[in-house]
Amino acid sequence: MAQFWKPGTEKPRLLEDEDGGVVFLSSSFSSSSSGYGFASIEKQRQRLPVYKYRTAILYLVESHATTIVVGETGSGKTTQIPQFLKEAGWADGGRVIACTQPRRLAVQAVASRVAEEMGVKLGEEVGYTIRFEDVSNSDLTRIKFLTDGVLLREMMDDPLLTKYSVIMVDEAHERSISTDILLGLLKKIQKRRPELRLVISSATIEAKSMSNFFLSSKRRRALEGDELLRPSLEPAILSVEGRGFNVQIHYVEDPVKDYVQAIVSTVLLIHDKEPPGDILVFLTGQDDIDAAIKLLTEEARGNGKTSSGLIILPLYSGLTRAEQDLVFSPTPKGKRKVVISTNIAETSLTLEGIVYVIDSGFSKQRFYNPITDIENLVVAPISKASAKQRAGRAGRIRPGKCYRLYSEEYYLNEMSVQGIPEIQRSNLVSCVIQLKALGIDNILGFDWPASPSPESMIRALEVLYSLGVIDDDAKLTSPVGFQVAEIPQEPMVAKMIISSNELGCLDEIITIASVLSVQSIWFSIRGAQKELDEAKLRFAAAEGDHVTFLNIYKGFLQSGKSSKWCHKNFINYHAMKKVMEIREQLKRIALRLGIVLKSCEADMQLVRKAIAAGFFANACRLEAYSHGGMYKTIRGSQEVYIHPSSVLFRVNPKCVIYHSLVSTDRQYMRNVISIEPSWLTEVAPHFYQQQRHNPNIH
Ligand SMILES: Nc1ncnc2c1ncn2[C@@H]1O[C@H](COP(=O)(O)OP(=O)(O)OP(=O)(O)O)[C@@H](O)[C@H]1O
C-alpha cells in the first residue's frame, strides 16, 4: 500500500494511507508569496510584478528596435505590456499594437481579460482574430490579440504590417512553426521599417540566443553611418523579477507506471485532503482525457468519501465554444472543478478557481520523418519550459500547488531545458508555401531562428511541385500556386478544392474540407460506444469517411439543421454549426478565386478524384488481411492500419488515401477514402513516376 507525504510541508510528514499508489515529496519553489483577497481590477494590475517595470519597458521599447522580456509566469507580461504601450501613445494616430499567441484559446481568453481590465467592449478598442473568427474592428481596435499564424496571413495583404506600431510575440519559447517564420520575417521587416518595435516575451525563453538572432553581423554593418537616426539595433533584454503567488511543487518518489491512474488517485487525494480550490490536470490528448474522465467518474462514485462535489470537465482544442465556456465559468459554491486538459491550457491562460495543478509530464507532439515522409502525433516527455508553464497555471490569483508525476531527480537531471522547435520536427509543406506566397524564394537561405533539416525542405518542395503549386524554378505557379496560397487551409486541402473546379464538385468538396477542419463531428458519450457505432452505420458510405461526411451533412440540412436530429444521431450540433460557418467562408474564398460552385450530385467518383488530386501523397495499398488489414504507404512502404473509427475499418479496400495519421501501438489512418490506383499517376505523375514499374501501382 502506498504512503503519502502531506504535500505542502517543508519537512515531509507521513499521511494516512490511500488507494492509488502515488507518493509525493514536496519541494520549495523560489517565490515571494503575497497576501490575497478581493481587490479592484486596478489594484490587481498594480500588484503584478511587471507593473514596477512599466517605465523601464516603455523606455526600452522607445529606444530599441527589439526588446526581450523574460518574466515568471503570472508576472503580467501578456495582459499588461500591451496596455502600457497603449497608455504611452503607441496606438495613437490609428496605429495598432499586436500581441501574438501560439494558441487560439489563449488569444480569446487574454483579449477578454484585457478588454475587461480596460472597461471596453471586446471587439472594439481591444479585439482578437483567430482563423475563422475575427472579433476586431479595423477602425476601432487599438490592441489586437491574434495567433501568430493569423499575423502571417495578414502579411499576404500587407507585407510590411504597416498598421502595427509594436508587435509583441508572446510565449516565444514555444517555438511553433508560425512563431519561427514570424520571427524570421519580422527581422526582415525591421530593416524596411525602422520605426517598428518588437517585444519578444516569455517566462522561459533563452534570451541570449534570441537576442543574437536579432542581431546579425550584417545588421551591425547596416547600422554604421546612421546610428543616430535609428533606435538601437542591439536588442534589449529585461528580466522581470518576482511572481504572483507561491506555488509549491511536489514530485513523486518513484516513476508512475500508469499516469492516467496516477492522475485519478491524485485528484481524489486532493479532493479528500486539501482545502477548496479547482484542479487543472495536464494530459496528452482527447483519448487520454476521455479515459481519465471515465476512470475518475467511476472511482469517485465508488469512493463514498470523495464522490460528491466534483465537476469533471475536459479541455482540448476541438471543443465547442459552449463546452469551453464551462471551463471558464465560476465554480458553484461547495463544488470543486477538475479540468482535464491537453497542453492548450499551458500558456497565457488564467482559470480563476485553479489552485492545484497535476502535471503528467507528457504531451502530444508532432514528429516528422522526411525519409518515410510520415508525420504523426506522438506522446513524448515535455521540457522544463513546459513544466514551468504548467506549474504557473496555479498561483495566479492565490497561492497554489503543483503535483508533478515525475521525480525531482528526473526534472533536474533528465528533462530537456527547451523543447525541439516545431520546425525541426514537422512536415514543411504548409510552411514552404507560406514563405513562397510572401515572396521568399530562397527558402534554404532564409534567416531561421532554428534551421529546419534540408531533407524536410526538399521533401516539401517535391510535394508542392507534384501538387503543381511550384514550378521548375521553385516559384509559385499561376494560377494554381497563388490560389492554393490564398486558401487558409493546408495545401493538400486547398489543392483538393481547386481540383474540384474542373471536376464540377466544389459543393461537395467544400463540405468535406469543412468537416476535416473541425476535430470531430461525432458526439462521443462515455459508455455509449455501441450506440455511436450504430449511428455511424446509418450514414456509412462504401467509398469511405469523406463520403460519409457528405451523407451526414445532407441529413443535417434535411432535418432543418436540427439540434434534436444531431442528438438522436450522436452528432455534435456545435461542430456542425462550425462546419457550416467554415463552409460559408470557403465558399466565399473559392468564388473569389473564380471556382464555380457546382455539385456532381451522386457521382462520388468525381469527389474521390478531387480528394486524390490533393492527397495523393497519402496513398496506401492493402498488403495483408492480418491484424484487421495491413496497408503500406505507396511512396515510403510504411506499415499503416485503418483506424477503428473509420467506416472502412475491416472493409479493407485495395487502395486508399488517408487524411491524417495517429500513432499509438501502430500507425493508424484517420478519415480514409478508397481510390483507384491508376488515378495516382494521373493526378501526380511526377510524384509517382519512379513507381510506374512498381507493383504497388497497378
Ligand atoms: N481572466 C483572468 N481573471 C482573473 N485574473 C486574471 C485573468 N487573466 C489574468 N489575470 C491576472 O493577471 C495575472 C497576469 O496574467 P498574464 O497572463 O498577464 O501573465 P504572464 O506574465 O503573461 O503569464 P504567462 O506567461 O503565464 O502567460 C494573472 O496571474 C492573474 O492574476
What domains are defined for the chain? 31-240 (3.40.50.300), 247-422 (3.40.50.300), 427-485 (1.10.10), 610-691 (no CATH)
Q: What is the DSSP letter of 416?
A: -
CA 513, 517, 521, 527 dihedral sign is positive
Ligand 1 within 6 A of 203 CB? yes
Q: What is the pLDDT at residue 359?
A: 97
User: In the 3-class helix/strand/coil scheme, how is 230-299 assigned residue by residue?
Assistant: CCECCCEEEEECCCCCCEEEEEECCCCCCHHHHHHHHHHHHHHHCCCCEEEEECCCHHHHHHHHHHHHHH
Can you tell me which atom of ligand 1 is nearest the CA of 113?
1
The finding on whether 345 has its CB within 6 A of some atom of ligand 1 is no
- Residues making up the chain, counted from first to last: 698
Q: Give residue 481's identity as a one-letter amino acid code.
A: G
Q: Is the minimum distance from the CB of 400 to ligand 1 under 6 angstroms?
A: no
CB-ligand 1 contact for 243 (6 Å cutoff): no
In this predicted structure, what is the pLDDT of residue 181? 92
Angle in degrees, CA 147, 148, 150, rounded to 5:
65
Q: Choose which residue among 44, 51, 72, 79 to substitute to test ligand 1 binding: the one with the highest number of ligand atoms within 8 A of its C-beta.
A: 79
Whose CA is closest to 467, among 440, 432, 443, 506? 432
The distance of Cα 288 from the centroid of its chain, to the nearest Å, equals 17
**DSSP H or E segment with residue 65:** none
Q: How far apart are CA 652 and CA 649, in angstroms?
A: 7
Query: Residue 185's closest CA among 161, 205, 206?
Result: 161
Nearest-angstrom CA–CA distance, 218 and 187:
12
For residue 123, the CA-to-ligand 1 centroid distance in Å is: 20
- Cis omega before residue 421 (within 30°)? no
- Residue 74 alpha carbon to ligand 1 centre in Å: 5
Q: Output the CA torsion sign for 216, 219, 225, 229.
A: negative
Does residue 300 sit in helix, strand or coil?
helix
Tens digits of per-residue pLDDT, 336-384? 999 999 999 998 888 989 999 999 999 988 888 887 777 777 889 999 9
Question: 46 CB under 6 A from ligand 1?
Answer: no
Rounded to the nearest 10 degrees, how much is the dihedral formed by the CA atoms of 633, 636, 639, 641?
A: -30
3-state secondary structure of 407: coil
Ligand 1 center from residue 13 Cα (angstroms): 33
Count CA atoms within 13 Å of residue 468 on its CB side: 17
- Averaged pLDDT of the chain: 86
C-alpha span between 435 and 451 (Å, rounded): 14
Q: Ligand 1: which atom is nearest the Cα of residue 392?
A: 26
Query: Is residue 76 in contact with ligand 1, taking CB distance under 6 Å?
Result: yes
Q: Residue 178 and residue 345: Cα distance in Å, rounded? A: 19
Ligand 1 pocket check for 78: Cβ under 6 Å = yes
Measured by CA distance, the residue closest to atom 4 of ligand 1 is 352
CB-ligand 1 contact for 244 (6 Å cutoff): yes
Partner residues linked to 369 by β-bridges: 374
Element (H, E) at 204: none
Ligand 1 pocket check for 172: Cβ under 6 Å:
no
DSSP secondary-structure letter at 76?
S
Atom of ligand 1 nearest to the CA of 245: 29
Residue 527: predicted pLDDT: 63
Nearest CA to ligand 1 atom 26: 73
396 lines ligand 1 (CB under 6 A): yes
Task: Judge residue 32's burial from the number of C-beta atoms within 10 Å of its C-beta, 0-12 exposed, 13-18 middle, 19 or more buried.
Answer: exposed
The answer to whether the CB of 595 is under 6 A from ligand 1 is no
C-alpha cell read off for 109: 481568453
The full DSSP string for 565-579 is HHHHTTB-HHHHHHH
Using a 10 angstrom Cβ sphere, with 0-12 exposed, 13-18 middle and 19 or more buried, the burial of residue 641 is buried
Which residue's alpha carbon is at the smallest distance from atom 9 of ligand 1?
350
CA distance linking residue 661 with residue 31, whole number of Å: 43
Which ligand 1 atom sits nearest the alpha carbon of residue 171? 25
pLDDT at position 9, please? 32
Residue 612 amino acid letter? A
CA of 596 to the centre of ligand 1 (A): 47
* Residue spans of the chain under pLDDT 70: 1-39, 216-230, 303-307, 318, 524-527, 690-698
pLDDT of residue 166: 98
Distance 350 CA to ligand 1 centre (A): 5
Identify the three-state secondary structure at position 454: helix
Q: Are 103 and 52 in contact (CB under 8 A)?
A: no
ipTM of the complex: 0.96
Cα–Cα distances (Å) from 173 to 391, 404, 417, 517, in that order, read: 16, 21, 11, 27
Give the gyration radius of the chain's Cα atoms.
26
Strands, E assignment, 481-637: 619-624, 630-633
Sign of the CA dihedral with 164 first, then 168, 170, and 174 last: positive
Is the minimum distance from the CB of 74 to ligand 1 under 6 angstroms? yes
Q: Best mutation site among 32, 113, 117, 282 for ligand 1, i.e. most ligand atoms within 8 A of its Cβ?
A: 113
DSSP SS3 for 692: coil
